[in-house]
Amino acid sequence: MASINKRGNKWQVRICRKNSPAICKTFILFKDAQTWAGYYAWLDHPVCDRAQEDARLLKLIQMSFIGSHGIYGAPRILQDLRERGETCSKHRVARLMRENGIRNC
């Protein structure tokens, strides 16, 4: 997904990866080949480690949430994750739940 705004001699391009809309990057492009090269380098670059780890943790969070029949909130899900040997903060669990619309009853 991309959106392009033209302002004078520069272009503002906002690009989101197809698989993860949370990973977006905004480029301000001038009529310069180096900025386009940077865009293509970013496009071919794999998803960063944190985004991969967030995706893995999100699957575990969803499993714990479904296992609790939608009752557990972030503190109890964090407790479940720690029992499984995962290390992360309560703020990260809460952020992932919030960004993905996971709320307890």
Model confidence pLDDT, tens digit, residues 81-96: 999 999 999 999 999 9
Q: Which helix H or strand E contains 11, and what residues bound it?
A: strand 10-16
Quick one: 37 and 54 in the same domain?
Answer: no
Q: What is the mean pLDDT of residues 12-22?
A: 58
Quick one: 40 and 59 in the same domain?
Answer: no
Residue 105 forms part of a structural domain: no
Residue 104 forms part of a structural domain: no
Quick one: 6 and 24 in the same domain?
Answer: yes
Domain count, the chain: 2
Q: Report the pLDDT value the prediction gives residue 104, as an integer from 0 to 100.
A: 85
Q: Which structural domain range is residue 53 located in?
A: 49-99
Quick one: 7 and 37 in the same domain?
Answer: yes
Quick one: 6 and 40 in the same domain?
Answer: yes
Neighbour tally for 82: CB within 10 Å: 11
**pTM for the model:** 0.60
